[in-house]
A and B are shown apart, each in its own frame.
Chain A
């Protein structure tokens, strides 16, 4: 079946511009995660959506970062006034969180490579 898809695959933007990154999770998956990975580094959690609950935004590095998930499916991560330190690969993952009690693996998309010049 179709996996997690992300677009664009690559994005080059100038410092100060806003960018939007899109994630299409696996159909039926209620949980959606955003992470970022800088070159040669591990995974940094950004935000987590689960069903209709309020998202866990505890990983967002600044108020320039925001995300929304419409209709419990597609999610958009927005970075305003981009800075060079925002350059990284942004990864989206989804998980079914069913059937209970778990545990549940996360399925990752290919990522969006963001370069801020």
Chain B
């Protein structure tokens, strides 16, 4: 699976959009970009995934560049409850175990 690079930490004001970048320059054609987050003392939570096209669900939007070498997770209106570590991972299809790196620690501030 391709390696990902994320900033260690980011701050965001409550109510503003949080834009979390991820680089995955070695991604191959059959690998998906997944985002999970982990709120303190809880298990990881799935957020969104994509292959080539931009995706949106009730939690977030995922913007993938045309060359697929990077992506951005967007939380449109961050709340204090969105404070968590956000993990960007790249994996092939079904059944693959997850490997989380350091992730981005997002702090949403009032």
Which 5 A/B pairs are nearest by Cβ-Cβ distance? A108-B43, A102-B94, A105-B46, A45-B97, A42-B100
Q: How far is the CB of A108 from chain B (nearest CB, A)?
A: 3
Q: Is the CB of B95 within 8 A of A43?
A: no
Which residues from chain A contact B98 at a C-beta distance below 8 Å?
Answer: 33, 35, 43, 45, 93, 106
Q: Is the CB of B45 within 8 A of A108?
A: yes
Q: Is the CB of A42 within 8 A of B95?
A: no
Q: How far is the CB of B44 from chain A (nearest CB, A)?
A: 5
**Is the interface on chain B under 10, 10 to 19, 20 to 34, or 35 or more residues?**
20 to 34
Could you mark each residue 76-101 of chain A with 1 if its beta carbon is under 8 Å from any beta carbon of chain B, else 0? Answer: 00000000000000010101010011
Q: Is the CB of A50 within 8 A of B95?
A: yes
Q: Is the CB of B43 within 8 A of A42?
A: no
Does B32 make an interface contact (CB < 8 A)?
Answer: yes
Q: How far is the CB of B36 from chain A (nearest CB, A)?
A: 8
Given contacts A42-B100, A42-B101, A43-B99, contact A104 B94 (CB under 8 A): yes
CA distance A43 to B98 in the complex (A): 7
Partner of B94, one of A35, A91, A101, A111: A101
Which residues from chain A contact B32 at a C-beta distance below 8 Å?
Answer: 103
Which residues from chain B contact A106 at a C-beta distance below 8 Å?
Answer: 44, 46, 98
Which residues from chain A contact B42 at a C-beta distance below 8 Å?
Answer: 110-111
Q: Is the CB of B101 within 8 A of A103?
A: no
Other 12 A-B pairs with CB < 8 A, given A104-B95, A105-B49: A4-B43, A33-B98, A42-B103, A91-B43, A93-B98, A97-B94, A102-B93, A103-B49, A104-B94, A106-B44, A108-B43, A111-B43
